[in-house]
Structure 1
Amino acid sequence: MAVGKTAIGTDLAAALGVPFVDTDAVIVAKHGAIAGIFASHGERHFRQLEAKTIAGILDPASAGGAKVCVLSLGGGAVLDSGTQQLLHRATVVHLDADLDTVRDRIRKNTGRPLLDGGADAAVRWQQLATVRTPVYRRLADITLDVRHGSVAELVAALTAALTIHPHHQNGPL
């Protein structure tokens, strides 16, 4: 959450010549604002929509599934066991950040339902990261430290890492 998935993912997709797909954007296009989904139906409903969206992209049996793309998942998507299983079909990149790296982004962004953008946003981000980071690390084929370097430098490093990764051409990144 707030680690640069969109900036890095968009530029990586352009460098690789493949589409960039942001699951949050897909959900918003089909169901409305994420904050509205959380407010009206709760986090559990949102996570169900998220898992279904990801399955539709990663599952080769689904209509239009498993195309080569750079796929940006919402921060909590990896907590779903079904999503974890589907991610074994893809090259998973963990963007590793710390609170100092994301502090300004989360303070300025009030559109994240699990972070209110206020003073407690940093504390909440750290709590979420404590739960999610071990899962990301377990699932990751590649870990990219995003604490240092420009987006262009990070994309170059990631592109180089992907060229030596054995199954990145077989499905979504």
Structure 2
Amino acid sequence: MAVGKSAIGAELAAALGLAFVDSDALVVAKHGPIPEIFASRGERHFRQLEAKAIAGVLDPESGAPAKPRVLSLGGGAVLDSGTQQLLARATVVHLDADLETVRDRITRNTGRPLLAEDPLSRWQELAAVRTPVYERLADITLDVRHGTVPELVAALATALNTHPHHQIGPS
């Protein structure tokens, strides 16, 4: 959460000539703002909408294989077992950060329902639960503590090019 996945993902997709898809944006486009979903229906309902949106990208109903793309997942999306199974067929990148790296972003952004109260402590609690899952699922881990978005994207593109089961570029 707040590690730069949207900025890095969008720039990586542009560099690779692929589509960029953000799971949060998919949910918002179909169901409205995330804070409103949390307020009216709760986190569980949001997670169901999120999992369905991700499945629509990673496992299209047409039976056709998913097209190569860069997909940015919401921070808690990896906690869903169905999403984890779908991610096993994809190249998963974990953007690794610490509290100091995200401090400014999470204290100035009030649109994160899970960080509404005591954002710094809450981020640490969420990270403690999510990080082991990210680490288990990840094919590649990118340390985002240092470097600009273009530098991080270049490092990630290099890592993806050397990943044994990954092809770069549209097909």
The verdict on a shared fold, with TM-score over 0.5 as the criterion, is yes
Correspondence for 1:137: 135
- Give 1:102-117 correspondences, 5 Å limit: 102-116=102-116
2:160 touches 2:168 (CA, 8 Å); kept in 1? no
Alpha-carbon distance in 2 for matches of 1:113, 1:4? 18
Correspondence for 1:161: 159
- Give 1:61-140 correspondences, 5 Å limit: 61-62=61-62, 66-116=66-116, 120-140=118-138
In the TM superposition, residue 168 of structure 1 has moved relative to its aligned partner by 2.6
CA spacing shift, 1:56–1:18, aligned 2, 3 Å: same
Specify the SS of the correspondent of 2:115: coil
1:87-141 C-alpha deviation (Å, 9 max, x unpaired): 011100000000000000000000011011x6x1000000000000000000000
1:56 touches 1:64 (CA, 8 Å); kept in 2? no
1:12 touches 1:159 (CA, 8 Å); kept in 2? yes
Alpha-carbon distance in 2 for matches of 1:15, 1:107? 30
Query: How many percent identity over aligned positions?
Result: 77
- Number of residue pairs matched? 170
Specify the SS of the correspondent of 1:114: helix
Ranges in structure 2 where 5+ consecutive residues have no aligned partner: none
1:3 touches 1:146 (CA, 8 Å); kept in 2? yes
Moved over 2 A (4+): 60-65, 166-171
CA spacing shift, 1:170–1:7, aligned 2, 3 Å: closer
Q: Which amino acid aligns with 1:32?
A: G
